[in-house]
Chain A
Amino acid sequence: MARGERLFVVGPSGCGKTTLLGLLAGVLVPTAGTLRVLGRDLAALGPAGRDAFRAEHVGYVFQLFNLLPYLTALENITLPCALHASRRRRLGGASPEAAARALAEALGIADVLDRPAPRLSVGQQQRVAAARALLGAPELLICDEPTSALDADAREAFLAQLFAAAGTAGATVVFVSHDRALAPLFTATLALAARPAA
């Protein structure tokens, strides 16, 4: 994949979509073969190296339950900076709060930043999750069915904002979904087949 591409990964349940994302994020390690992400062999990095790699280069958006309910939207967005110093360094001197506000502006959630996470709508929660994933402009943005809880109109609007923000950050997007209708919005599509019944 080239930098800035947007890959759509589609396939039925159990076909290994989430496993692929886990591999890309460096949470899982391949049992055979090699995996190179951003030019680096993740298996060779070691567990601590993969954690640092993920913190520095990868933004991750879950399907659901992205946010910590006891933090405000703003605190959720800046959370990566609290957890790993390398993410903080990517901000290039800007305060995490300032960077978060800029992203929130782009994603249209600037006015709900002080609300506790549970008091946001699902769409707002996913935008907060996207802002958090994009904070510090990571090279790789991984999205695990972030739109499955949204209705069709909200889905399109969310994706438009997500792509715009990802474009600003210069991030490559890997997006998993089972909704083939979204495919035209991406630059490439990877269809995974269900594992044949053994």
Chain B
Amino acid sequence: MTLVTLALRSLGSRRVPTALTICSVALGVAMLAGVDLVRRGARAAFDGALSGTDLVVGARGAPQALVLGTVYGIGQPQGTLSPAAQARIAAHPAVAWTAPVALGDNVRGLRVLGTTPALLRHWRYRGDRTLRLTAGDTLAGPRDAVLGATAAATLGRGVGDTLTLAHGLLDSDLAAHEGHPLRVAGVLAPTGTPLDRTVLVTLDGLAQAHEDGLSAPVAPGTASALLVGLRARRDALRLKAELERDIAEPLTAALPGLVLAQFWRDLGVFERTLELLGAAAVLLALLGMLAALLTALDGRRRELAVFRALGARPATIVTLLLLEACCVSVLGSAAGLGVVYLGAAAAGGAVERAFGVPLAVAAPDLRTLATLAAIVAAGTLAGLWPAWRAYRTSLADGLVTRT
């Protein structure tokens, strides 16, 4: 029989308090790991909203505003891109495809995105996923609209139903383009990207809707931005520099991945807050374990006296107590991690469908392992206090247990 076995058996004899302590450590670790998983999922969803697009080109302005406005509909579109500029970019030998994005209208608060069928073909999200229609067809004529999954549900419209656009980004009946009703041509499968809450129409359709004498006319073909796919990704920086030197029209070209990563870093406070919350949960759990171990000591004075009578050195008793704290930390951490991973495996699909946040069940990375090691080390160190108390108690009690 080894000291480890002895520590485990002793813990086992205090089954209920031990189980509760392990549970509290597990909850703390689960909270930490869960927050981390959701954080990484949120980041993957955010970064992955638009992939496969190498450049986003728009009127001269801030790259972040351009990308966030185009991909997420955050903020107003800054300026416009003339059809001539779009054509020049599309004809560039390094460019594989382009798709315009025209923003500015809404349907009951959902943003309207004027484009061409090319966007539906080339938009990729979270790596290499393509857009898929659950019903109907892609954009064909100026009266067609394709609805994102959430948009279709919110509006309660399906293929064949009609829609009326409203001018501006705010929901208002006053500015409705009632002279140009649209027909729902197709509905997209859920993607977990902002496209879910978008109504896609053609550029021509958007222009025709504005020919109602009420709103400012839109020159046909004018867009807020242009999504550009390259033949070779490595040309992105070169083309960006080239486009921004364009003398005919002042342009800004942004690499969406870079801009989104930068934006996410700017949100670092938010991430650190989440991490702090998780750390606080672990700290609470370890304090709970400390309290449980200290409380248990009083009832274990006879046990300690027996150990001493049988020749256990104080160091042996300290080792036993540290082993107990270590076992509780290890078991708690493993249970917490297991709960999070099993939960993610079981409910990950539902969470992704509901919130668009993918929960990646992967082997714990180095960072997670380091965190777990730190938790176990902290838990074991926390055991030093009860261990020291046990040592003092055993010295004071000697072989006689006064109770």
Contact = CB atoms under 8 A, between A and B. Distances in A.
B51 interface: no
A62 B309 contact: yes
Nearest to B394: A27
B306 A48 contact: no
B401 A65 contact: yes
A86 B310 CA distance: 11
A84 B316 contact: yes
A60 B314 CA distance: 18
Nearest to A54: B311
A174 to B, nearest CB: 13
Interface string B305-320: 1111111111010000
A67 B5 CA distance: 16
Interface residues of B, number: 26
Contacts of A18: 399-400
Interface stretch (A34-42, A74-82, A159-167): A74-82
Contact of B311 (A62, A69, A86): A86
Given A68-B303, A69-B13, A80 B398 contact: no
A193 to B, nearest CB: 20
A27 B306 contact: no
A78 B308 CA distance: 15
A168 B316 CA distance: 30
Nearest to B5: A82
A87 interface: yes
A80 B6 CA distance: 12
B399 A84 contact: no
A30 interface: no
Interface in B281-311: 302-303, 305-311
A132 interface: yes
B313 A82 contact: no
B14 to A, nearest CB: 9
B310 A65 contact: no
A51 interface: yes
Nearest to B11: A70
Given A69-B13, A71-B9, A84-B316, A21 B399 contact: yes
Interface in A46-71: 47-48, 51-52, 54-56, 58, 60, 62, 65-71
30 contacts: A22-B400, A25-B309, A25-B399, A27-B308, A27-B399, A28-B398, A51-B311, A51-B314, A52-B311, A52-B313, A54-B309, A55-B310, A55-B311, A60-B399, A62-B306, A62-B309, A65-B401, A66-B306, A67-B306, A68-B13, A68-B306, A70-B9, A71-B9, A79-B306, A80-B310, A80-B311, A81-B1, A83-B307, A83-B312, A84-B310
Interface of A: 18, 21-22, 25, 27-28, 47-48, 51-52, 54-56, 58, 60, 62, 65-71, 75, 78-84, 86-87, 132, 144
Given A51-B308, A70-B13, 4 more contacts: A54-B311, A68-B13, A75-B9, A83-B307
